Amino acid sequence: MSEITGPAAAALASLCSDDVIFLQSLPKAELHAHLNGSIPIKTILELAQQYSPSSAQTTEVADTIEKLKSGVILNDIFDFFSLMPAIYALTSTPEAVVITTRAVLQSFLNSTNDGVESPQCTYLELRTTPRKTTHMTREKYLTVVLDEVEMYPATQAALIVSVDRRMSDLDVEECINLAIEMKNRGRRVVGIDVCGDPRSGDMRSFTQHLSRVKDAGLGLTVHIAESTNNTTEDSLALLSCRPDRLGHATFLSDELKALFFEDIPQPGTECSSLSESELPNNAPANGQYKPCIEICLSSNLLCKTVASLDAHHIRYYLKNNHPIVICTDDALPFGTSCLGEYSLLLAQPPLGLGLSRDDVARVAQMGIDAAFSRPRD
Ligand code: 6MZ
């Protein structure tokens, strides 16, 4: 397993060895991990050695590698996205995608500590955006990734196909069609994700494509309200597709939570600054809607969308007994691991949330229950 740094490392270092053994032996599902954000630094360095770029890219790649080696410091979440072009330059051929995917799967599922097999998680739903480059089509990219994922049993690994908020309508359609075709051919695609820079894209035009996902038997997860730039209309458009899981949901308003989630108390009859015409047909939440929230603690702290663990929205969901899953998001820039993220639950404040072992085990089980590979209702 790669070295971890930052808040996760501090939390882990504060635990006694019994607690670490407890966390290591806990069955865990990692459901929100981006392939190109989870590459071990050792693999990045190997890829950099084989890389023969144009001179403009050389400097960008070298600068980004330096940042990744020394610990990334972000001013805000938007800084995060500036790391991706250099990583993408290193993973732009099918051969590099094979190396990358294999290394990421191994880092989650085959890690050893002091010679003892101690996988970070028991089940991984890895996600990635099918990328077209001069060396490969989107279909080739997905095929190569799936070939690696399918080396593991279905009880251990599966793939979510991401569409990026920056994509054109046509590209979104192409990616979703590809995911559905792959699933129909028996390949291990289990869901669709919407990711990318929260400032970009009009989610109202994405919904026509997202609404086909569930009928195709795929799960749907969306990054929602990850930054203060995400508007109510943006969240409403995404919620109108009734995603099975929500990524981050950091700035989802109490009003929207009360309106959509069955277990969140209505704030009162004064609820609504939203006019009727703004609400999607299926808005009222007296149905059975309880989407699992994908919580990425280190990611939120390092992207500075959340000021401290004390202020983190996980507390709200824990208090309301709403399903959550604990995830790494991008283990490389955020210097974390599944063990690191679970340490943030168990460590005493201010390094962690100070949950009991029973509560941590309950949270881990919620994650397992939220996997797309389980038959959905
Ligand atoms: C939104 C994110 C993200 O798909 O190329 N990605 N999107 N919010 C985040 N929070 C920090 N972290 C990663 O993996 C990299 C891509 O995942 C998305 C971004 O679109 C990024 O380019 P893949 O494997």
pLDDT for 57: 74
User: Phi first, then psi: what are they for 301, rounded to 5°?
Assistant: -70, -45
Which residues lie below 8 Å from residue 279, measured CB to CB, with a gap of 6+?
A: 236, 259
Ranking 94-108, 174-188, 295-309, 363-377 by mean pLDDT, the lowest is: 363-377
**Is residue 77 exposed (0-12), middle (13-18) or buried (19+ Cβ within 10 Å)?**
buried
Q: How far is the CA of 269 from the centre of ligand 1 (A)?
A: 38
**Residue 347 tokens, joined:** 């460590």
- For ligand 1, say whether the CB of 100 is within 6 Å of any of its atoms: no
Calculate how far, in angstroms, residue 286's C-alpha sits from the geometric centre of ligand 1.
33
For residue 59, being part of any structural domain is answered with: yes
- For residue 252, the CA-to-ligand 1 centroid distance in Å is 19
Residue 195 Cβ inside 6 Å of ligand 1? The answer reads yes
- Provide the domain count of the chain: 1
Name the pLDDT band for 59 (thresholds 50, 70, 90): confident
pLDDT tier, 58 (very low <50, low <70, confident <90, very high otherwise) = confident
Is residue 374 in a domain?
Answer: no
For residues 162-167, give the mean pLDDT. 98
Burial class from Cβ neighbours inside 10 Å (0-12, 13-18, 19+) for residue 232 reads middle
- Which DSSP string corresponds to 209-269? HHTTTTTTT-EEEEEES-STT--HHHHHHHHTT--SEEEE-TT--HHHHHHH-TTSPP--T
Q: What is the pTM of this model?
A: 0.94
pLDDT at 296 over 60: yes
Residue nearest to ligand 1 atom 8, measured at CA: 196
* Residue 267 reports pLDDT greater than 60: no
Q: In the prediction, which pLDDT does 264 show?
A: 67
**Cα–Cα distance for residue pair 179/216, rounded to 1 Å:** 10
Q: In the structure, what pLDDT confidence band is assigned to residue 21 with cuts at 50, 70 and 90?
A: very high
- Look up the domain containing 75 and give its range: 6-369
Phi/psi at 136 (5° precision): -160, 155
Check whether 99 has a pLDDT greater than 50: yes
What is the CA(299)–ligand 1 centre distance, in A?
11
Place of tokens 């998001």: 329
DSSP state of 52: -
pLDDT value for 269? 44
CB of 120 shorter than 6 A to ligand 1: no
Tell me the two tokens of residue 232. 């109510």
Answer positive or negative: Cα dihedral of 113, 308, 227, 68: negative
Residue 311 inside a domain? The answer is yes
- DSSP string for 69-90: HH----SSHHHHHTTHHHHHHH
Instruction: Determine if ligand 1 sits within 6 Å of the CB of residue 111.
Output: no
Q: Compute the mean pLDDT over every residue in the chain, rounded to the nearest whole number.
A: 92
For residue 295, the CA-to-ligand 1 centroid distance in Å is 15
- Judge contact between 93 and 135, C-beta under 8 A: yes
- Taking the C-alpha atoms of residue 80 and residue 189, their distance in angstroms, rounded to an integer, is 27
In ligand 1, which atom is closest to the CA atom of 226? 8
The angle at the Cα of 38, spanning 34 to 41, to the nearest 5 degrees, equals 160
Q: What is the CATH number of the domain that holds 213?
A: 3.20.20.140
Q: What pLDDT is stored for residue 261 in this prediction?
A: 87
Q: Would you say the CB of residue 35 lies under 6 angstroms from ligand 1?
A: yes
Angstrom distance (rounded) from CA 297 to CA 301? 6
Among 129, 195, 250, 295, residue to substitute to test ligand 1 (most atoms within 8 Å of Cβ): 195
With respect to residue 161, please indicate whether it lies within any of the assigned structural domains. yes
Q: Please, which residues have CB within 8 angstroms of residue 186's CB and are 6 or more apart in sequence?
A: none
Which H, E and C letters describe 268-284, residue by residue?
CCCCCCCCHHHCCCCCC
How far is CA 176 from its chain centroid? 18
45, part of any domain: yes
Q: Residue 267 contacts by C-beta under 8 Å, 6 or more apart in sequence?
A: 254, 255, 258
- Residue 377 pLDDT level (bands cut at 50, 70, 90): very low
Closest residue by Cα to atom 2, ligand 1, is 196
The secondary structure element, H or E, covering residue 45 is helix 41-49
In residues, how long is the chain? 377
| Any ligand 1 atom below 6 A from CB of 128 | yes
Q: What is the DSSP letter of 11?
A: H
Average pLDDT over residues 228-232: 95
Cα 30 from Cα 368, distance rounded (Å): 8
Average pLDDT in the 344-353 region? 98
Q: Which two tokens stand for residue 18?
A: 């019994």
Report yes or no on 376 lying in a domain. Answer: no
